[in-house]
Amino acid sequence: MGGDLIPLEHAPLAPRCSLGVGGPARYLVEAHDEETVREALAWAHARGQALHVLGGGTNLVVADEGVDGLVLAVALRGVSVQTSGPDVELTAGAGEPWDALVQLAVERGWAGIECLSGIPGLVGATPIQNVGAYGQEVSETVMSVRALDTRDGEVRTLLPAECRFAYRDSVFKSGEPGRWVILAVRYRFRPGGAPTIRYPEVEEHLVARGIAAATLADARSSVLAIRRAKSMVLDPDDSNRRSCGSFFVNPVVSAEHADRLTALGLSPPMPRWPQSDDRVKLSAAWLIERAGFPRGYRKGSTGLSTRHALAIVAHDGARAREVLGFARRLQEAVRSRFGVALVPEPVIWS
């Protein structure tokens, strides 16, 4: 099985990752169709090789030594649309660029993902991370996920309950990591729907623009402007471009813990967002800065973005071990100062 597949050997991975660090893949194959994905799985199983799935590389840190096994670069394309009552259902291949899909939805007047504008990467990553930003999460629109089960080689369709979505998490990420290769995602949108304006920063930006009744396009342009001001939009001319975006997820703590931190009286006041389970989500960026690491802080060839304390930037000459060592320093400082554990958001291949 998989005998016709001829992977590349010792294929560089750094150029495929937004951080631009890391060693090569022992083997690599690009899959533009589902049959190649199946063949790659069979090839890896037949040779006792681990299978690693690569998307857009915008949320990945590859070790300097590279990665053993077979790296499967998912490049399945294609978008199809159908109506379902008052809604629109859109199915996109896992290799479709995410922001282009958001732009398509906004231009056609389909509400549901407008505040997820500007997020780099591919469609296949969105259910894995339960991608979210500025008051929206992709789980609000996902209807189903088509995926290859690496245990038996069968393709299955998982419904939202089976995806076990949580804050920046899913069955694909922490529930059963490595089991599923996402092939396509089906979303449901609301034609003619109003934008979701839940996030104060977006609301304030719209007010500053003099917009009282925002359209989907207004919401998208404000989100893009906010992200661009934080270097959270991929831009080849941005000195902060070599990053994974947010390196840590915003921690969620007990209300009592949040109250203790608020009582410290630090300035500016600590942002806090109450959650439905009576816990409180905190700003990881605020914690990092108050732990002694301001924006632009740099140690050697690795540092923080000059525009956002949540982004770790790899400068010229940086190595993966330096990026991960810098991340550990941030974690240790925040834990020591505030008793809060920061959890990395990127996948780490080591």
Q: Active-site residue 246, yes or no?
A: yes
**CATH class of the domain whose range is 79-191:** alpha beta
- Give the start-to-end residue ranges of the domains of the chain: 8-74, 79-191, 243-349
Q: What is the pLDDT of residues 69-128, one digit of tens each?
A: 999 999 999 999 999 889 999 999 999 999 999 999 999 999 999 999 999 999 999 999
Do 104 and 210 form a contact (C-beta atoms < 8 A)? Answer: no
Q: Report how far apart, in Å, the C-alpha atoms of 160 and of each of 14, 109, 131, 154, 155 are.
A: 33, 24, 14, 19, 16
Q: Active-site residue 301, yes or no?
A: no
Decide: helix, strand or coil at residue 167: coil
According to CATH, the topology of domain 243-349 is 3.90.78
Residue among 16, 38, 168, 227 flagged as catalytic:
168
Q: Active-site residue 156, yes or no?
A: no
Looking at the domain that runs over 8-74, which CATH code has it been given? 3.30.43.10
Q: Which of 246, 345, 328 lies closest to 291, judged by CA?
A: 328
Q: What is the pLDDT of residues 265-320, one digit of tens each?
A: 999 999 999 998 899 999 999 999 999 999 999 999 999 999 999 999 999 999 99
The whole-angstrom separation of Cα 336 and Cα 332 is: 6
Amino acid at 23: G
Residue among 30, 34, 89, 345 flagged as catalytic:
345
| Shared fold status for 79-191 and 243-349 | no
The whole-angstrom separation of Cα 331 and Cα 177 is: 23
The whole-angstrom separation of Cα 295 and Cα 306 is: 5
Mean pLDDT of 212-236: 94
At 272 the pLDDT is 93
Residue bearing tokens 């937004």: 18
Q: What is the pLDDT of residues 29-59, one digit of tens each?
A: 999 999 999 999 999 999 999 999 999 999 9
Residue among 170, 221, 246, 305 flagged as catalytic:
246
The whole-angstrom separation of Cα 49 and Cα 41 is: 9
The whole-angstrom separation of Cα 306 and Cα 296 is: 4
